[in-house]
């Protein structure tokens, strides 16, 4: 199943027609479906994106399918000269600007799309530094919540550059027709990519199998990890295994390690996570 989250209805108008989706719900989020895809319109902003992503993916906890994948699809601003208006960009790094958290998608599928980093902000009315290539208001919340349900190689952020952002330039007001034309112009590229992802995932055995789950559980219990740390460990574990093609058996060294304090636990956890992301 392909899950799509977009912030605005105008971003989805052409997608709904292209996939022949039918409206199934108005509340709590406007939802469209067919047998192969589900699309939710979240509304603009981090809180809306987090709520809609949780709503969309909640049922996967009852039986995670390794063929499921989620995409945050919409427009964004370009913060530098690397990308031009109209470019379709696959995010390889997603940053929560306010919280300074970073998320990395594990892009296993071969593709011809441009790749870049994106930072998500809470408000357009606040000054912020240009730390990444692109800027939006939803990607980081989408990625953070989606990673609680899916593995990182099942989570993608696809953005079309709608305008150039400059500190000396006011935010442009984009017309609905303009946004719709941008999306329409990239439909073939977007869904060529999604089909490639879907085909690849169907060939996969589940990345994290029973043996892997047992390792994660034993390390989490021994180190007394928090709920958030366990989620981070699961993502880092999946990242390691997808890249190295083997399980990180060095984690067994932590099965019987009991930290003396929360400070020591946190230090060990950060070291462990760094090893997994090497």
pLDDT at 231: 85
Question: Do 155 and 249 fall within a single domain?
Answer: no
Question: Do 86 and 158 fall within a single domain?
Answer: yes
Provide CB contacts within 8 A for 162, sequence distance 6+: 75, 76, 77, 85, 174, 178, 179, 182
pLDDT at 221: 94
pLDDT digits (tens, 9 = 90+) for 230-263: 988 988 898 888 888 899 999 999 999 999 999 9
Torsion of CA 206, 208, 213, 216, to 10 degrees: -170
Q: Is the pTM of this model over 0.85?
A: no
Q: Which of 168, 203, 238 is the last residue of a domain?
A: 203
Q: Which of 179, 203, 227 is the last residue of a domain?
A: 203
pLDDT at 169: 64
Q: Residue 114: which CATH number? A: 3.40.50.1580
pLDDT digits (tens, 9 = 90+) for 95-138: 999 888 999 888 989 999 999 999 999 877 667 788 899 999 99
Q: Report the number of distinct structural domains present in the chain.
A: 2
Using a pLDDT cut of 70, give the percent of the chain over it. Answer: 93
Question: Do 160 and 216 fall within a single domain?
Answer: no
Q: Which of 176, 203, 230 is the last residue of a domain?
A: 203
pLDDT digits (tens, 9 = 90+) for 66-98: 788 999 999 999 999 999 999 999 999 999 998
Distance CA 84, CA 99 (A): 27
Question: Do 158 and 255 fall within a single domain?
Answer: no
Range of the domain at 260: 210-276
Question: Do 99 and 215 fall within a single domain?
Answer: no
């Amino acid at each position: 199943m392909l899950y799509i989250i977009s912030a605005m209805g105008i971003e989805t108008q052409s997608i709904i027609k292209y996939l022949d989706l039918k409206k199934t719900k108005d509340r709590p989020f406007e939802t469209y479906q067919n047998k192969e895809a589900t699309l939710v319109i979240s509304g603009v902003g981090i809180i809306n994106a987090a709520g809609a992503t949780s709503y969309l993916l909640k049922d996967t906890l009852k039986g995670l399918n390794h063929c499921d994948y989620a995409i945050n699809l919409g427009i964004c601003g370009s913060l530098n000269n690397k990308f031009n208006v109209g470019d379709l960009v696959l995010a390889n790094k997603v940053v929560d600007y306010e919280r300074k958290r970073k998320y990395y998608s594990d892009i296993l599928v071969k593709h011809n799309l441009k790749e870049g980093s994106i930072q998500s902000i809470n408000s357009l009315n606040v000054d912020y530094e240009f730390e990444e290539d692109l800027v939006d208001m939803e990607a980081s919340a989408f990625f953070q919540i989606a990673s609680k349900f899916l593995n990182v190689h099942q989570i993608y952020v696809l953005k079309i550059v709608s305008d150039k952002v400059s500190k000396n330039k006011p935010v442009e007001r984009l017309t609905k027709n303009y946004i719709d034309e941008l999306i329409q112009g990239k439909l073939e590229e977007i869904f060529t990519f999604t089909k490639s992802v879907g085909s690849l995932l169907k060939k996969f055995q589940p990345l994290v199998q029973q043996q892997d789950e047992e390792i994660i559980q034993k390390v989490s219990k021994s180190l007394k990890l928090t709920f958030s740390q366990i989620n981070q460990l699961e993502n880092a574990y999946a990242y390691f295994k997808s890249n190295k093609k083997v399980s990180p058996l060095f984690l067994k060294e932590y099965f019987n390690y009991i930290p003396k304090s929360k400070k020591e636990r946190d230090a060990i956890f950060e070291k462990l996570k760094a090893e997994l992301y090497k």
